[in-house]
Amino acid sequence: MPSILSASPDYFHINILVKSIIDEAQGYMKNIPKEVIAEEIQKAYIYARNAHEGQLRKSGDPYIIHPVEATRELLILRPDIVTIQSCLLHDVPEDTNKTVEDIRELFGDEVAYITAWMEKLSHLKYRGEERTIGSLRKMFVAMSEDVRVIFVKLADRLHNMKTIEFQPSKEKRERIALETLNVYAPIADRLGIFDFKEALETECFKILHPEEYHKIRAELDVFKEAQEIFTTKVKQLILDHMPEGVAIVDISYRVKSPWSIYKKMQRKWYERVQDIYDLFALRIITDKVHHCYDVLGAIHTIWTPVPNRFKDYMALPKENGYQSIHTTVVGMFHEFRTQPTEIQIRTLDMHRQAEIGVAAHFAYSETGQSKRAKDTYWAAELKEILDNSEDSDFMSQMKIGVFDDRIFAFTPRGEIQVLPKGSTPVDFAYSVHSKLGDNISIARVNGRVVHLDYELRNGESVEIITDKNKHPNITWLSFVKTNRARECIKSYNNKTNREELVEKGRFMLNAHLLKHFNKTLDKDLSLLKYIDGKNLNTEERENLLVQLGNLSRKPSSVARSILENGSSELHKLKELQEQTRIQKKAHTISHDEESLHLIIGGEKHIPYRFANCCKPKVLDKVVAYITREGVNIHKIDCVSLKQQDFDRYLPAYWEGMKTQGLSIRAEMFFENKIWVLKKLTEIFFLMRINIEEIHACQSKDGLSCVTFSLKTEEEDYYLFERLLERVRLSVIEFKDGKLIEMK
């Protein structure tokens, strides 16, 4: 085999980089002969270098610099030889005349598998969730089969982001950054690869918000002097206070990443970086688990701990395997700031898990190949989502099942159930056993009876009371968060309540069609004749309504498919509505924009300001958010709003424009008690329902009849049924209720 140093001078610098890759791999693959490591990595590099001969990057460098630099990024995960070879070869099948079969012949099945998937993933283009679901699904299929595919993809994406300035198109740079921020950074987070996550987010931040990025970086530079304080004072102070026999492996600290700082400033309305209390985090690495608690005691003798800021992730690990003790103290870095400082205490093995996540579970055989990472709850759930969810439901399930934060709740026996944030007692019951979920009747949380759509919080104890006569209710689909619960509920209702689902699906689609096209389905469901490029018979059209009824598909998706497949009636209506909308907008804009009123919470003249994060304009779809300084106006899809407290929302829209979500007219009958209306408004508040109008009268049988005009920001077509369940549980004198209209 030729030496890597025997190529032309153009490759001299790149050859040196490859030599550094070999040296580092030899450093952590202790049980593999060094010559084997060098030979296998050189073989892949030379093959890739020859295959890419004559190709240049947009920077003007030889193309081979990209796979080599991507491999250097990959080394933080301590990858096996297969992964290193795959990273060096990942662009060969796509950009050269060499094929996957050529690679298989020289490097084996595993390298061929990873490079083949890298070729497929290279064709993904982010155009928003709904248009790329099928492609994203393929990526997650590859991940569930061999997580090393995503290791290589993340390294490839990180180097591309670091060199994205050579991409001349601003639009393309922003598209790639959005894709990275919305798809790849969350995957790195879920896998526990935090260095990759933060590096990807930082590069995206530079592209998408350059002014904010440079402002935060400038403010962070002020704290460089704190590094000297840490080196000279804090570190020695900690060592001096350690109990005898407690070994300290390392003490270091990190500063919050620019993107995390930006999100927190948006979420908490901080004006300056230095106002963030957890800007710094100190890390203390010790040798044994029980020494971590000894270190904790010593820390609390040096600085004052902040109440309610202690978290023991050693006893209760995060879902991605993260373990550490977190405490927050006052007084550290007091020369520069008064805010508290977070301290993380862990063992060396825990620190390795915290740095590289699932990659920490790989062990290396004598051939340099790694054994498969041990199965995790995350991997099992990913496979379950892939197997059971339809494309139309896939991304919502991925967000819930894979990307969301987790909570833990306890059974009455003290067993831990780990669930997505926002999970309910129904999710909890199904996580214990499917039969427990199927027959759930009552749920007690910390000894108190709660409604079944109650959102569980960390550390709560949940008791499920069953009744063999109870069965999964279709309305549960509108609030459960776990895929397991969703699939069990669908399975039961698809078999036993098909007609109810058909009618609910018809109702939901009619509501959407009436709202947007002033059209409804006929008896034969003729509008559903051609859907998704297929000619549907009567049973298949009803099956589509079942999918709507069990929330596997959205009405907007079906309506879009109707339009795409050429419904002349809807097209005519759509064109007419578009012309009317343009005329109205042109007429409105012809007036002085400052004279347009923004209706906030039903009122016209409330003072407000536009939020800096999303920079809304007049006539944008917006929502109001209450702050300490007043009311801020955000775009309805502003990313920062997802992190905010819902209780501070107010509906907002420009005068003459409709608000978003669903409008409901509901009629309810009660015994005339003085507290009933107060109880009802509390229920509406907790369910995030806005009351637009109330009308009360007395019925013939002496009951109070109350008619509500309600508004919700979300299109929850089971909201009325959920509302009745809460009312029945909370208001004893409730007699009956019916839905008058939903649109």
Q: Which CATH number do you get for residue 724?
A: 3.30.70.260
Report the range of poorest mean pLDDT among 248-262, 457-471, 510-524, 577-591.
577-591
Average pLDDT over residues 423-429: 93
Range of the domain at 299: 221-361
Q: Give the mean model confidence (pLDDT) for residues 135-150.
A: 68
Whether pLDDT at 592 is above 50: no
Task: Label each residue of 12-78 as H, E or C.
Answer: HHHHHHHHHHHHHHHHHCCCCCHHHHHHHHHHHHHHHHHHCCCCECCCCCECCHHHHHHHHHHHHHC
Say what the alpha-carbon torsion angle 425, 429, 430, 433 is, to the nearest 10 degrees: 170
Greater confidence (490 vs 463) lies with 463
3-state helix, strand, coil in the chain (%, to 5): 50, 15, 30
Return the beta strands (E) in 68-164 as ranges: none
Residue 563: CB atoms within 10 A of its CB come to 14
589 sits in which H/E element: helix 568-589
The residue from 444, 473, 495 where one domain ends is 495
Q: Are residues 176 and 298 in the same domain?
A: no
CATH of the domain at 254: 3.30.460.10
Q: Are 88 and 48 in contact (CB under 8 A)?
A: yes
Given this model, what pLDDT does residue 39 score?
Answer: 94
Is residue 399 pLDDT above 50, yes or no? no
pLDDT of residue 702: 72
Together in a domain, 14 and 152 = yes
61 labelled catalytic: no
> How many structural domains comprise the chain?
6
First to last CA, the chain: 72
| Integer angstrom CA distances of residue 197 from 10, 148, 313, 372 | 33, 16, 20, 22
Q: Are residues 10 and 92 in the same domain?
A: yes
pLDDT for residue 72? 95
Asked if 249 and 348 touch (Cβ cutoff 8 Å), the reply is: yes
Q: Are residues 229 and 256 in the same domain?
A: yes
pLDDT band at 318 (very low <50, low <70, confident <90, very high): confident
pLDDT higher than threshold 90 for residue 390: no
Q: Is 95 labeled as catalytic in the residue annotation?
A: yes
Q: How far apart are CA 450 and CA 726, in angstroms?
A: 9
pLDDT mean over 446-474: 86
Q: Are residues 93 and 165 in the same domain?
A: yes
Per-residue pLDDT, 643: 56
CA angle at residue 370 from 364 to 373, to 5 degrees? 115
Does 342 map to a domain? yes
Same domain, 288 and 408: no
For residue 214, being part of any structural domain is answered with no
Q: Is the pLDDT of residue 228 over 50?
A: yes
Average pLDDT (357-380) is 51
> What is the C-alpha separation between 66 and 298, in angstroms, rounded?
47
Instruction: Give the pairing type, strands 649-654 and 598-600.
Output: antiparallel
The token pair at 575 is 């064109």
Task: For residue 215, tell me if it sits in a domain.
Answer: no
Q: Are strands 662-670 and 631-635 parallel, antiparallel or unpaired?
A: unpaired
Q: Are residues 187 and 236 in the same domain?
A: no
**372 in a structural domain:** no
Which member of 53, 61, 94, 692 is catalytic?
94
Q: Are residues 428 and 395 in the same domain?
A: yes
Q: Which residues contact 80 (CB under 8 A, 6 or more apart)?
A: 29, 148, 362, 364, 368, 369, 370
Q: What is the mean pLDDT of residues 364-388?
A: 50
Burial 654-690 (b: 16+ CB within 10 A, else e): beebebbbbbbbbebbbeeeeebeebbeebbeebebb
| Mean pLDDT over the full length of the chain | 78
Per cent of the chain over pLDDT 70 is 76
Section 92-118 average pLDDT:
91
Of 470, 495, 520, the residue that ends a domain is: 495
Do 22 and 126 belong together in one domain?
yes
pLDDT at 140: 65
Per the CB < 8 A criterion, the answer to whether 424 and 456 are in contact is yes
Identify the CATH number of the domain in which residue 37 sits. Answer: 1.10.3210.10
Q: Of the listed 24, 53, 61, 95, which one is catalytic?
A: 95
Same domain, 580 and 476: no
Last residue of a domain, one of 449, 475, 495: 495
Are 636 and 703 in the same domain? no
Mean pLDDT to the nearest integer, 558-562: 76
Q: How far apart are CA 87 and CA 21, in angstroms?
A: 12
Domain presence at residue 370: no
* Judgement on whether residues 415 and 459 belong to the same structural domain of the protein: yes
Query: According to the model, what pLDDT value does residue 588 have?
Result: 44
pLDDT per residue as tens digits for the range 234-291: 888 888 889 888 999 999 888 888 998 888 887 666 677 777 777 778 899 999 999 9
Tokens of 306: 């902040």
Q: What is the mean pLDDT of residues 380-404?
A: 52
**Cβ–Cβ < 8 Å for 528, 521:** yes
**% pLDDT > 90, the chain:** 19
Please report whether residue 698 resides in a domain.
Answer: yes
Is residue 213 included in any domain, yes or no?
A: no
